[in-house]
Amino acid sequence: MVLNINKPIGWTSFDVVKKIRFITKEKKVGHGGTLDPFADGVLIVATGRDTKQLTEITGTDKSYIATIRLGEITNTLDTEGIVTEKKEIPSFNDDKILKVLNTFLGETKQIPPMFSAKKIKGKKLYELARKNIEVERMPVLINIKKISLLSFEAKNITFSVTSSKGTYIRVLGKDIAEKLGTLGYLTSLKRTKVGSFSVADSTSIEEFEEKWKLSQA
């Protein structure tokens, strides 16, 4: 069984896996690509033999809608962390933002954030970050396929992006703010698509649980 779950804000990807395991009583349950706790949207979950499909699903392109708060930055690059620095926001318009966004199109290298599940020498980076330990991270090749400006109001830029596997949208948000001459972190992130799976076709955990109970009755 392959499920297109609309992960709610505040849940970890593993929280969703645990919940699906509890509902279905399946021992083997996995997900197709971590989605940060502060984010919502498409999380692909598979059970039983279908977990074999997750490797292929994880490798597909993903689409997001994100909002950057300009003028300050947090240690996690999202709302989960604490503000560590502030900087004045220079004056610019939509055209300037569009030009900056377009500089990220195509292949580029990105340094993974310390607050991430990526492992270095067997240790998850966020475990080190929580102990205030920062280690050198090697840049990873990513590919931004599409990027568009959706809105710019006061200190907030909302954009949509389609990118390759392994792209950290939190880092992209920080890098966009830096190219605009300021600082920034993500205040919202929605994953709208994973491969052919769309948020429009996703199911909430509550809906899935209800349908499952009816199917087992």
One domain, residues 156 and 183: yes
Nearest to 63 by CA among 139, 174, 167: 167
One domain, residues 174 and 74: yes
**Is the pTM here over 0.85, yes or no?**
yes
User: Mean pLDDT per segment of 10 residues, for the chain of length 217 residues?
Assistant: 96 94 94 90 95 91 97 94 94 95 94 74 71 77 96 96 94 96 97 96 95 85
Instruction: Specify the pLDDT at position 114.
Output: 67
One domain, residues 99 and 55: no
Catalytic residue chosen out of the listed positions 15, 36, 78, 201:
36
One domain, residues 66 and 158: yes
Two tokens at 133? Answer: 């330990």
One domain, residues 107 and 187: yes
**Residues whose CB is less than 8 angstroms from the CB of residue 90 and which lie 6 or more positions away in sequence, other chains included:** 180, 181, 182
Separation between Cα atoms, residue 173 and residue 72, nearest integer Å = 12
Two tokens at 21? Answer: 């395991």
Determine whether 36 is an active site residue.
yes
Instruction: Specify the pLDDT at position 130.
Output: 75
Angle between helices 94-102 and 169-179 (to 10 degrees): 130
One domain, residues 68 and 91: yes
In which element (H, E) is residue 216 found? Answer: helix 205-216
Instruction: Specify the pLDDT at position 34.
Output: 85
Separation between Cα atoms, residue 164 and residue 32, nearest integer Å = 14
For residue 139, how far is the Cα from the chain centroid?
18
One domain, residues 74 and 165: yes
Q: What is the CATH number of the domain that holds 49?
A: 3.30.2350.10
